[in-house]
């Protein structure tokens, strides 16, 4: 019988700077899923790569005085080095500068044009000259300026090709709301409400203002702009409309595209529209995860090398880093990175939990039996319970992996690790070891522990592929013992198994000392000049004021009792607040980022003595305090929710 296939992809990364730990998440997550599927017997294609065209790359190369290709070649080397360091088992690496990809993109562009889905038009919009970027009205910052550099924009137009999206709106809405394409499906509402319901806008798909892109074959003033180039990688890498590979029929449609939330829209709307226009089958799942944040911001190079995966890996091992990021990120939410949380997690789960289980078990087999267990057995209390839990583990992990909930899969595995450590306490092998008549019982306990470790480490090898073979060596498992099939049943190791004491697999870390060291590294390696990576420049600090000036601003805690959208406005929400003084109504321009239900019941901070104004005809008595985020959104400040309404901020 032919093997079942499984095709999984990461986004292709912009090689505009070296990779950081934020980039690692998707790649490590996809790697773990790819490994898991291979272990289950699937024929897997795991694709990653780099998205190498565009203005930003052209500019960075010019700054360095090299050609764009020379520039990306260097950075791609670092990406590949990192993936090898993190033990990423990709099957194919695509570069959008590869000839075969260029050929496919050109053919796709032409086919869409011939079918009437791409047409020539005029791009009108707000143009930022220093950034050489067009912005739509809704992308501008609160002062109507460029969301990247916050300078003034001008009205401008440029000849461009457009991709018609509207013919696909209905099918896309169904895809998002009626199928399980989107994981988690809860994100469908925001996509439908923000992009589909207001009417899908045609997408600008070519540019004439820069050269570093794939030329449009029938109009060489134009280069293909961003998404048609980037998204096509998922099929060009299989050989669609090129001669390089011949895997399209075998692997398409993809089983999982995994992306972070900032590029969800492109994968949830534009990519399906492109495929529909090409009459191709749609991918089965789009798994969307949040960001790894640091101090509440999307992590980027600006935060210094301490979050450089190479540096962390050198200190704790690539597997510990893989484990930490996989364990922390829940699909659908952001995960906040902190050195302290990472070190504590390594200590508790890996050093104390798994590491201890392995070293205690192997040490006892060594001490009491010279490394080789006798074959006599005596069952006892707690055995059945442990064995049942261990034998059920694989099915639970399968289930979470099917739902792309890697953190939950790991949590299940570590529950069993804790259970096994508890079994050691319950059975007290050190007491059994003192009594010659209890040798058979002791051998049973140790065998059960070794079997538990075998199953746990087999499953874990998909997430921590470097360390687990060391565990197999220590517990005396042969290669043939380590299979998916054997991970579902107890009793695989030979009764007279021989263990081999080895190095400690995850050494315990001294938290305080390590944090101090890491802080020193932050100081020496931070690269503040790279801060613009996310397009986030903190707004300049305003002119100095006195404490009396500040005292004029009356900031208060208030509870959002009710909230609704202001009719005729896309930006405004109208909030009814309990301000501790009988209540008030405030209108706030945060509708793009918050739904009423996100705010109702929450305490917020308001400017309480602001002169009332009317916004879109609705009276507003005060202002909700919010912070700028790197992607130009507003982040409402939620104070301690136990503070009383009316509490004054100072």
User: Residue 149 interacts with ligand MSP (CB under 6 A)?
Assistant: no
| 18/474 with CB nearer ligand MSP | 18
Judged by CB under 6 A, which stretch of 20-28, 99-107, 170-178, 587-595 contacts ligand MSP?
20-28
User: What are the helix and strand counts (H, E) for the chain?
Assistant: 23, 24
User: Residue 322 interacts with ligand MSP (CB under 6 A)?
Assistant: no
4-38 burial: b if 16+ Cβ within 10 Å, else e: eebbbbbbbbbbbbbbbbbbbbbbbbbbbbbbbbb
| 11/304 with CB nearer ligand MSP | 11
Report the residue closest to ligand MSP, judged by CB.
Answer: 22
CB of 52 to ligand MSP, least distance (A): 9
| 94/636 with CB nearer ligand MSP | 94
Radius of gyration of the chain (CA): 28
Single out the residue of 254, 319, 320 nearest to residue 287, CA to CA: 254
CB of 18 to ligand MSP, least distance (A): 11
Measured between alpha carbons, how far is 214 from 225 in angstroms, rounded to an integer?
8
| 21/364 with CB nearer ligand MSP | 21
Judged by CB under 6 A, which stretch of 70-78, 291-299, 344-352, 370-378 contacts ligand MSP?
291-299
CB of 230 to ligand MSP, least distance (A): 4
461-479 burial: b if 16+ Cβ within 10 Å, else e: bbbbbebbeebbebbbbee
User: Residue 54 interacts with ligand MSP (CB under 6 A)?
Assistant: no
User: Residue 292 interacts with ligand MSP (CB under 6 A)?
Assistant: yes
Among 51, 98, 319, 514, binds ligand MSP (CB under 6 A): 51
Phi, psi of 634, rounded to the nearest 5 degrees: -110, 135
Torsion angle, alpha carbons of 169, 175, 181, 182, to 10: 60
Residue list 227-286, contact with ligand MSP (CB under 6 A): 230-231, 233, 259-260, 262-263
| Binding residues for ligand MSP, total number by CB under 6 A | 20
Measured between alpha carbons, how far is 254 from 9 in angstroms, rounded to an integer?
8
CB of 26 to ligand MSP, least distance (A): 6
User: Residue 291 interacts with ligand MSP (CB under 6 A)?
Assistant: yes
CB of 288 to ligand MSP, least distance (A): 9
CB of 467 to ligand MSP, least distance (A): 24
Among 5, 14, 366, 535, binds ligand MSP (CB under 6 A): 14
CB of 329 to ligand MSP, least distance (A): 8
User: Residue 23 interacts with ligand MSP (CB under 6 A)?
Assistant: yes
Among 298, 322, 396, 419, binds ligand MSP (CB under 6 A): 298
User: Residue 225 interacts with ligand MSP (CB under 6 A)?
Assistant: no
CB of 150 to ligand MSP, least distance (A): 21
Measured between alpha carbons, how far is 647 from 149 in angstroms, rounded to an integer?
36
Residue list 163-182, contact with ligand MSP (CB under 6 A): none
Residue list 373-432, contact with ligand MSP (CB under 6 A): none
Q: Where are the beta strands (DSSP E) in 233-307?
A: 256-260, 285-289, 292-294, 297-298
Torsion angle, alpha carbons of 596, 600, 606, 612, to 10: 60
- Residue 114 CB contacts under 8 Å (≥ 6 apart), including other chains: none
| 79/113 with CB nearer ligand MSP | 79
Judged by CB under 6 A, which stretch of 9-17, 149-157, 486-494, 575-583 contacts ligand MSP?
9-17
Torsion angle, alpha carbons of 190, 191, 192, 196, to 10: 140
User: Residue 25 interacts with ligand MSP (CB under 6 A)?
Assistant: yes
Residue found by looking up tokens 């203005």 in the block: 55
Among 6, 7, 8, 13, binds ligand MSP (CB under 6 A): 13
| 289/394 with CB nearer ligand MSP | 289
CB of 303 to ligand MSP, least distance (A): 9
CB of 627 to ligand MSP, least distance (A): 18
Measured between alpha carbons, how far is 199 from 176 in angstroms, rounded to an integer?
15
Residue found by looking up tokens 């109009």 in the block: 219
Please state at what angle helix 318-328 crosses helix 21-39, rounded to 10 degrees.
90
Measured between alpha carbons, how far is 151 from 147 in angstroms, rounded to an integer?
8
User: Residue 203 interacts with ligand MSP (CB under 6 A)?
Assistant: no
Q: Are 321 and 312 in contact (CB under 8 A)?
A: yes
Among 200, 237, 299, 364, binds ligand MSP (CB under 6 A): 299
| 12/358 with CB nearer ligand MSP | 12
In eight-state DSSP terms, residue 535 is: S
User: Residue 451 interacts with ligand MSP (CB under 6 A)?
Assistant: no
- Residue 213 CB contacts under 8 Å (≥ 6 apart), including other chains: 53, 54, 207, 223, 224, 225, 229
Judged by CB under 6 A, which stretch of 121-129, 154-162, 292-300, 559-567 contacts ligand MSP?
292-300
Task: Annotate 346-409 with DSSP letters as a single string.
Answer: IIIIIIIIIIHHHHHHHHHHHHHHTTB--S-----TTHHHHHHHHHHHHHHHHHHHHTT-HHHH
CB of 60 to ligand MSP, least distance (A): 13
- Residue 406 CB contacts under 8 Å (≥ 6 apart), including other chains: 29, 32, 33, 326, 329, 400, 463
Q: Are 256 and 9 in contact (CB under 8 A)?
A: yes
| 262/426 with CB nearer ligand MSP | 262
User: Residue 11 interacts with ligand MSP (CB under 6 A)?
Assistant: yes
CB of 96 to ligand MSP, least distance (A): 9
CB atoms within 10 A of CB 262: 14
Residues that bind ligand MSP (CB under 6 A): 11-14, 22-23, 25-26, 51, 230-231, 233, 259-260, 262-263, 291-292, 298-299
């Amino acid at each position: 019988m032919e093997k079942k296939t499984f095709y999984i992809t990461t986004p292709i990364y912009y090689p505009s700077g070296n990779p950081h730990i934020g980039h690692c998440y998707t790649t490590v997550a996809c790697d773990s899923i790819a490994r898991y599927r291979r272990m289950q017997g699937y024929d897997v294609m795991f694709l990653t790569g780099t998205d190498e065209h565009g203005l930003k790359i052209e500019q960075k190369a010019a700054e360095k005085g090299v050609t764009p290709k020379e520039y990306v070649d260097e950075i791609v080397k670092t990406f590949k080095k990192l993936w090898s360091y993190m033990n990423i088992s990709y099957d194919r690496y695509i570069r959008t500068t590869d000839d075969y990809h260029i050929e496919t993109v050109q053919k796709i562009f032409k086919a869409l044009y011939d079918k009437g889905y791409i047409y020539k038009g005029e791009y009108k919009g707000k143009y930022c000259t220093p950034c050489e970027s067009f912005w739509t009205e809704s992308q501008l910052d609160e002062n109507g300026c460029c969301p990247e550099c916050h300078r003034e924009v001008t009205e401008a137009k440029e000849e461009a090709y457009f991709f018609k999206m509207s013919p696909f709106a209905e099918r896309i809405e169904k895809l998002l709301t009626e199928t399980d394409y989107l994981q988690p499906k809860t994100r469908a509402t925001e996509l439908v409400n923000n992009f589909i319901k207001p009417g899908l806008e045609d997408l600008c798909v070519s540019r004439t203002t820069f050269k570093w892109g794939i030329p449009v074959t029938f109009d060489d003033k134009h280069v293909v702009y961003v998404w048609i180039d980037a998204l096509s990688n998922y099929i060009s890498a299989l050989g669609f409309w090129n001669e390089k590979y011949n895997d399209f029929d075998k692997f398409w449609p993809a089983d999982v595209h995994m992306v972070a939330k900032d590029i969800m829209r492109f994968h949830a709307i534009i990519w399906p529209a492109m495929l529909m226009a090409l009459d191709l089958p749609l991918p089965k799942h789009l798994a969307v995860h949040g960001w790894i944040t640091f101090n509440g911001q999307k992590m980027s190079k600006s935060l210094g090398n301490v979050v450089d995966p190479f540096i962390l890996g050198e200190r704790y091992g690539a597997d510990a880093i893989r484990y930490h990021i996989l364990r922390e990120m829940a699909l659908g939410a952001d995960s906040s990175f902190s050195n302290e949380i990472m070190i504590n997690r390594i200590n508790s789960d890996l050093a104390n939990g798994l590491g201890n289980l392995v070293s205690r078990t192997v040490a006892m087999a060594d001490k009491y039996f010279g490394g080789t267990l006798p074959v006599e057995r005596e069952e006892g209390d707690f055995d059945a319970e442990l064995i049942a839990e261990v034998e059920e583990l694989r099915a639970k992990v399968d289930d979470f992996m099917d739902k792309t909930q890697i953190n939950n899969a790991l949590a299940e595995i570590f529950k069993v690790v804790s259970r096994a450590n508890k079994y050691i306490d319950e059975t007290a092998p050190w007491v059994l070891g003192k009594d010659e008549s209890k040798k058979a019982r002791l051998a049973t306990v140790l065998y059960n522990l070794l079997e538990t470790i075998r199953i746990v480490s087999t499953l874990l090898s998909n997430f921590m592929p470097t360390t687990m073979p060391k565990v197999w060596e220590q517990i005396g498992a042969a290669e043939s013992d380590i299979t998916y099939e054997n991970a579902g049943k107890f009793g695989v190791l030979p009764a007279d198994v021989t263990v081999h004491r080895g190095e400690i697999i995850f050494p315990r870390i001294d938290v305080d000392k390590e944090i101090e060291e890491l802080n020193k590294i932050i100081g020496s390696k931070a690269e503040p000049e790279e801060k613009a990576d996310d397009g986030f420049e903190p707004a300049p600090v305003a002119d100095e004021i006195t404490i009396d000036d500040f005292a004029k601003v009356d900031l208060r805690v208030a509870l959002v009792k009710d909230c609704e959208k202001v009719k005729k406005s896309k930006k405004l929400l109208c909030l009814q607040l309990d301000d501790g003084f009988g209540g008030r109504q405030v209108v706030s321009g945060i509708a793009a980022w918050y739904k009423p239900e996100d705010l109702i019941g929450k305490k917020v901070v308001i400017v309480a003595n602001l002169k009332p104004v009317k916004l879109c005809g609705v009276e507003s008595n005060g202002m909700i305090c919010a912070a700028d985020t790197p992607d130009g959104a507003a982040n409402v400040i939620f104070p301690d929710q136990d503070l009383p309404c009316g509490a004054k901020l100072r």
